[in-house]
Amino acid sequence: MTKTLVVATGNPGKLREMQAYLANSGWELTLKPEDLDVDETGETFVANACLKASEVAKATGSWAIADDSGLAVDALNGSPGVYSARYGKTDAERISRLLRELGYTENRQAQFVCAVAVANPAGEIVLQSEGICRGEILYTTRGEGGFGYDPIFYVPEKQLTFAEMSPELKKSISHRGNALKNLVPQLVKVLG
């Protein structure tokens, strides 16, 4: 038996990434309707994920999954945080602003955070998960892969930035990967 899970995003790349985690779970993923937008007014990643999942579930009458993620830099008191995507108009602008605000601060510790929420067709949140990947912010960009802050997010254990990692390696250690790994067994039980 397969159930449809509407992904609260218009981004086909995010849909493909989630589908990779949910392969063999019994869920078939589909993108939310293009004209359905949800304002991210929450003050935390969890609040935004829950808001998006709930609103998309109610609007479509289907199960829905949403995530909210971003970069939290210790020396900037957790900024850019929930405003990670709105820190500039382009990835280059966001990176430039972050590096400018950090300056030559020695404390470069940071973490990527991802919260995932699943809502039933009534819009009730039935599952939540959060994943974290610790690292540090470099002074300059490195690597050609990934997106967003990936070229400046360095994982010391791997001696690579997210932008230098293979998709498989990034998936195995990333914040989104950690959040979804925790969620998949629960999602399979919901189908049961």
Q: What are phi and psi of 43, to 5 degrees?
A: -95, -5
Check if 68 is active-site. yes
Amino acid (1-letter code) at residue 40: E
Radius of gyration over every alpha carbon of the chain, rounded to an integer in angstroms: 17
Which residues contact residue 144 at a Cβ distance below 8 angstroms, ignoring those fewer than 6 apart? Answer: 163
What's the angle, vertex CA 188, arms to CA 186 and CA 190, rounded to 5?
Answer: 75
Query: Which residue of the set 37, 39, 67, 68 is catalytic?
Result: 68
- Most distant CA atoms of the chain, gap in Å: 55
Report, as residue numbers or ranges, the catalytic residues.
68
